[in-house]
Structure formats: C-alpha cells, structure tokens
Amino acid sequence: MSKPLFNKEISLHRLHNQRRISFSLIERCRSLLNPGVAFTRELHELFRAQGKFGSKDRRLYRELIYTYLRYQPWLDSKRSDQEAFMDLLIQLAVPTAEIRSLYPTLANKPAIPVEEANRFKLLGKEATEIKELLPDWYALHTKRPLSTKGLLTLVTRPPLWLRIQKDPGDDIIKRLKEPASPEQAALIAKHPLIPGCIHAPADFPLANHPCYLNGDIEIQDISSQILLLMLKDSPRGKWLDACAGAGGKTLQLAELLRPYGKVAAHDLRSSALRELQSRAKRSGLKNIEVLAKRPTEGSYDGVLVDAPCSGSGTWRRHPYLMRQTREKDVFDYAKKQLSILKDYSNLVSEGGLLVYSTCSLSRHENEEVAAKFLETETRFIHQPLAPRFGFDDLGHGITVYPEDHNGDGLYVRAFRRVS
Ligand SMILES: C[S@@+](CC[C@H](N)C(=O)[O-])C[C@H]1O[C@@H](n2cnc3c(N)ncnc32)[C@H](O)[C@@H]1O
C-alpha cells in the first residue's frame, strides 16, 4: 500500500518542478521578444540547453509559453505571485494531455476546463477588452473592423488543418482516428465545403502517424488551402513558386497542376528548400523542381509570390510575432514586397498569371502594395478570383480573416499579364 503513495509523491513533486521550470522559461522568453529576434530558434536553443527535455516536456512548456504570450499584457502584473500566476496560466492554456496532467497542482482544481472561447473571463475581462492584448496600431491596419468573434479567435490556438495529398482510396478519417484519444477522435472530420481539407485538434499527435509518414496527408492551414483553390481557372502549365519556403503551397500547387503541369520552387533560404525537398519526396509528386538559385530567364504560365511579411495573420499560431512586430516593420515589409513582386513579375509569360499573397492582415502590405504594383506595371491587369467560399473579390483582392474558417489570416490578389 505504501508504494502508490510514494509514486504519487514523486509524481506531484515532478509536476511542481514542471511549474517551476515553466515560470523560469517564461522569464527567459521575455528577453526574446525584441524585434528581429528569431524567437522559435532561440526557444529551441533554450530547450536544448536543458538537455533532459523530452517531446512531452517541450509540448507542455511551449503551450504554457505561447499562452503567456497571447495574454501577456494582462498577465505581466500577476507575475509577482508565482503560484497564482502559474495556476492562472494552466487554466488559460489549451487542455492538452500534458496541461491536464498539471491540474492536480492547482489550488482550486477545475472540474471541467473553461471553454476556450471564454477563458479570458478567468482574468475578469470582457470579450471587447481583448483588443488590449493587440498592438495599438493593429486595428488601424485591418480593412475589416475588429469584431468580438475576431478578437476571440485571435487569442485561441487554431486547430490542426490537414490536406489529403494522395487519395488513399480508403477511409482516411478512420485511419487517422486509430491512435487518437476519444476526445481527439471526436474532433477529426473532413471539411464539408473545402475538398480534401481535414480538421484535427491542435494537439493531435501527427508526427509519427503512418498517414503522415507515407504522404497521404500534409499539414496545411485551411486558409492557405483555399488560396490556390480560388484561382478562377485551375492552374495549368509551368509555374514558379518564387517564395516557396518549406513548400506548404508548392505541394498543393503541384497536385493541382498534375498530370501535365509542373512547378519550380525557389526560396532564399536553403534550409527551407531542404525541408521542401523531403516533403516532396514523401508526397511522391514528381512534378516539383527545386531551384536553389533565382531563375533569371524563361517564362512561366503562373508565378506565385507568397511574399515575406509581418505575419499578423498567423498571430494565433505564432503569438511571439504579436509581441515583436512594430508598426515600422509593416512599412518596411511593404517596400520589400513591392520590390519582390516587381522582380518576379518579369518571369510571367504573356497571358500568364501573377499571384500575390501574404499572411498579413495589414492593408499596407496587401491592397496598397498591389495597387502600387498596378500603377507602374502596365503590362498587368487585375484578374478577379473566383467568388468561392463566400468571399468576394471587389477588385482589390481577397482577405481571409482567422475567424472566417478558424485558420490563419491571409491576403491574395491575382494579376493577368496582357502585354
Ligand atoms: C511567407 S513565407 C513563404 C511560405 C510558403 N510559401 C508556404 O506556403 O509555406 C515567405 C518566404 O519568402 C522567402 N523570401 C524572402 N525574400 C525572398 C526573395 N527575394 N526571393 C525568394 N524568396 C524570398 C523567405 O525566405 C520565406 O521563406
């Protein structure tokens, strides 16, 4: 009879240790919030320096750190009471298995976690007050006024969105559910409107899942999936994905271009291209070519410029960007985006498409850059996007907000080269 008690004591001791470590990691992360700091790389280094962290530890600490970042302006004044601060943080976090394991350490144990969309109430706040968590310039940059639904979405972690990459010819949903817990399995479903799109819970353990390892499915945010589906005529021919990163959109584009078309993928970052290469291999797609150097000549039926940006559309997933980004960064990005767009526009063949996109919600990086491009580049005209998924292209491009599909926010605009 004494052994379980002993184990329980050890386990409680370990949980209290995790709370202590979380608090000290959060303190250290505060110094990583200066503009320009590569937050995820530094966090990775911080975890690595601890040596003994396993993947569960990393998931636990990341969830708590990201929760802190979402609510930072409201939480900072509470740091002086470490225990009360940690109690609050654990209840604000998404109740993943790792977070739930900390519940026995709470002073007042919650029987049921507060619903995610209402967790801010633990801080005695109203939904409209969530705007205090955003940088003060943000509301002036978005075309759509801030709504309660939009604010609530910004402080909640998005689900995991997947794209069916290879038609496996059997019930992929059933296979995905196999290793999931009953709570996770209940949230796995095909999207009713967006072909090939699957919703899964944020903490779904995908990394070692056979459907992922064999390339049947890929991780891709729902709004990102919609972007390429909105091109009026399905893409065909030879395309260039000029800012391909690790290939989120390249893989979908290659799938859409099959069986006759192909895509060349380029990015300034060789590490991203290496990841793209391994994802392409996993997908089994044969129509992707990776270009380490920017193509200087030749012409393409379509060029996608998914430009580097301030990333406000991804604040839900990357809350450190909400803390790091200054208004000046937005204007700096806008200059860069116009220059990149002009540069790659030269590679579009006559009659071809140029697609400009960002994961920013600032009109300065979106509509304004597109308008400036058209002002000087008279070879191009506005190309309406198909009015699908409930969005309307009123001649200025389409902005998808995080609350529209419970994903990222992004902007997309297409131009047709006419001469
Ligand atoms: C928004 S990310 C691209 C995301 C990617 N398309 C996806 O769907 O996952 C922008 C990318 O542009 C790259 N980049 C920045 N300047 C560039 C340039 N002049 N030419 C090509 N790529 C560039 C960055 O390295 C970054 O990977």
Q: What is the DSSP string of 363-403?
A: TTTTHHHHHHHHHH-TTEEEEPPP--TT----SS-EEE-HH
Burial class (CB in 10 A: 0-12, 13-18, 19+), 90: buried
Asked if residue 166 lies in contact with residue 215, where contact means CB atoms within 8 angstroms, the answer is yes
Name the one residue in this structure whose structure tokens are 């985006």: 337
Angle, to 10 degrees, between the axis of helix 39-49 and the axis of helix 2-29?
A: 140
Pocket test for ligand 1, best of 222, 240, 243, 338 (most atoms within 8 A of CB): 243
Separation of CA 99 and ligand 1 centre (Å): 34
Name the token pair of 358: 């960002």
DSSP character at residue 101:
T
Atom of ligand 1 nearest to the CA of 309: 1
**pLDDT (average), residues 59-80:** 96
**pLDDT (average), residues 343-361:** 97
How far is 41 from 19, CA to CA, in rounded Å? 23
Nearest CA to ligand 1 atom 17: 268
How far is 265 from 284, CA to CA, in rounded Å? 16
Nearest CA among 207, 243, 249, 205 for reference residue 231: 249
pTM metric for this prediction: 0.94
Per-residue pLDDT tens over the stretch 320-332: 999 999 999 999 9
How far is 134 from 127, CA to CA, in rounded Å? 13
Nearest CA to ligand 1 atom 12: 243
* Whole-number percent of the chain with pLDDT over 70: 96
Asked if residue 401 lies in contact with residue 409, where contact means CB atoms within 8 angstroms, the answer is yes
Strands 398-400 and 410-417: antiparallel
Q: Is the ipTM of this complex over 0.95?
A: yes
pLDDT (0 to 100) of residue 2: 43
Atom of ligand 1 nearest to the CA of 358: 1
Separation of CA 292 and ligand 1 centre (Å): 13
Question: Residue 41 contacts by C-beta under 8 Å, 6 or more apart in sequence?
Answer: none
How far is 345 from 376, CA to CA, in rounded Å? 12
Separation of CA 309 and ligand 1 centre (Å): 9
DSSP character at residue 145:
P
Beta bridge partners of 198: 162, 190
**pLDDT (average), residues 407-413:** 97
> Catalytic residues, which ones?
359
Higher per-residue pLDDT: 10 or 174: 174
Nearest CA among 406, 362, 413, 365 for reference residue 199: 406
Asked if residue 99 lies in contact with residue 63, where contact means CB atoms within 8 angstroms, the answer is yes
Is position 267 annotated in a ligand binding site?
yes
Beta strands in 147-299 (DSSP E): 160-164, 189-190, 197-200, 217-219, 238-241, 262-266, 288-291
**pLDDT (average), residues 220-248:** 93
Q: What distance, in Å, lies between the first and last C-alpha atoms of the chain? A: 84
- pLDDT exceeds 80 at position 1: no
Nearest CA among 244, 316, 325 for reference residue 279: 244
**pLDDT (average), residues 7-35:** 90
Atom of ligand 1 nearest to the CA of 242: 21
Beta bridge partners of 355: 304, 414
Pocket test for ligand 1, best of 226, 267, 321 (most atoms within 8 A of CB): 267
pLDDT (0 to 100) of residue 226: 95
- pLDDT exceeds 80 at position 344: yes
Question: Residue 143 contacts by C-beta under 8 Å, 6 or more apart in sequence?
Answer: 363, 367, 399
If phi over 0 gives left and psi between -120 and 50 gives alpha, with beta otherwise, what is residue 215? left
Separation of CA 383 and ligand 1 centre (Å): 23
How far is 154 from 317, CA to CA, in rounded Å? 9
Asked if residue 48 lies in contact with residue 41, where contact means CB atoms within 8 angstroms, the answer is no
Separation of CA 250 and ligand 1 centre (Å): 12
Give residue 284's identity as a one-letter amino acid code.
Answer: G
Per-residue pLDDT tens over the stretch 99-148: 999 999 999 866 667 788 888 999 999 999 999 999 999 999 999 999 99
Beta bridge partners of 290: 265
**pLDDT (average), residues 359-374:** 98
pLDDT (0 to 100) of residue 114: 78
pLDDT (0 to 100) of residue 243: 98
What are phi and psi for residue 240, nearest 5 degrees? -120, 125
Atom of ligand 1 nearest to the CA of 246: 9
Asked if residue 302 lies in contact with residue 237, where contact means CB atoms within 8 angstroms, the answer is yes
Is position 221 annotated in a ligand binding site?
no
Separation of CA 307 and ligand 1 centre (Å): 6
Pocket test for ligand 1, best of 225, 250, 268, 335 (most atoms within 8 A of CB): 268
Enumerate the H helices of 76-221 as residue ranges: 82-92, 97-100, 138-141, 148-154, 172-177, 182-185, 210-213
Residues with CB under 6 A from ligand 1: 224, 242-246, 248-249, 266-269, 272, 306, 308, 340, 359
- pLDDT exceeds 50 at position 78: yes
